[in-house]
Structure 1
Amino acid sequence: MSDDELNEIRQKKLEQMETKIRGDGHGAVEEVESVPSEPIYVNGAEELADAISTYDVVLADFYADWCGPCKMLEPTIEKLAADTDATMVKVDVDANQQLAAQYHVRGVPTMVLFADGEVAEQIVGVRGYDDLKGLIDAHLE
């Protein structure tokens, strides 16, 4: 086999591996932090800050286990996690009282939308899928 044939084989193998890694069938691998398709449960300011700095758009759902409206909102948050390019995080206000106070959470459910590391919106109460998706889409680039 000639050097040219070997180089051609290497190039094809490299392209195949890059396509397999990325999973989209296109050229070079890009460094992209994939957005989780399920909500992330965070415990503490450090974990929330990590999520906010890792992902472009984050919707933080401040909830309590005893809260009926929070339970009603949970399927909507799960669907948004699966359907959008935003990251959903869940913060238990009973376990994270200081964190809830830091974001002025006075009632649950309260959602805080972060875009590019900054608070963009605060939503109090249960909202429908379309309302929340519209808010998220407005902050996705």
Structure 2
Amino acid sequence: MPVPLMDSFLSTVQSYVSGQTLLWLAFSSVVLFVGTLIAIPLILVRLPSNYFDSDYPHSWMRNHHPVLRMLGHLIKNILGAIFLLAGFAMLFLPGQGLLTMLIGISLMDFPGKRELERKLIGQPTVLSTINKMREKFGTPPLVIKPR
């Protein structure tokens, strides 16, 4: 038995967005959800346990040609922005929104990034979730030293 309120809502949404677009959005949401279920553990498990320590050196592509290094940084920042936007969308759609946003932020380069990462990772629920995931894969827990 159809629910009149749901039918009304669906017809209102379809008056603004085509059915094909809604199907594409639903498919994209499922793909992003499954993709993050695979990518997030792989990324978080590969991080060194002291990655978020302020003393940890972060030199990426240092020994490469300057053009390759610039191209690599551009691609890394674009991927970070995609992860950040996907994570934001996952706050409202199925998926691991906060962890995806954290990975996006860690890929991007901007002033104050390290402090923001430490603040996000330092949240007890986020840190315990990440460390439980790392424990399942036999990696040491992330360590956040107090400042």
TM-score with structure 2 setting the length: 0.27
Larger Rg, first or second structure (1 or 2): 1
Task: Kindly indicate which of the two structures has a greater share of residues assigned to helix.
Answer: 2
TM-score with structure 1 setting the length: 0.28
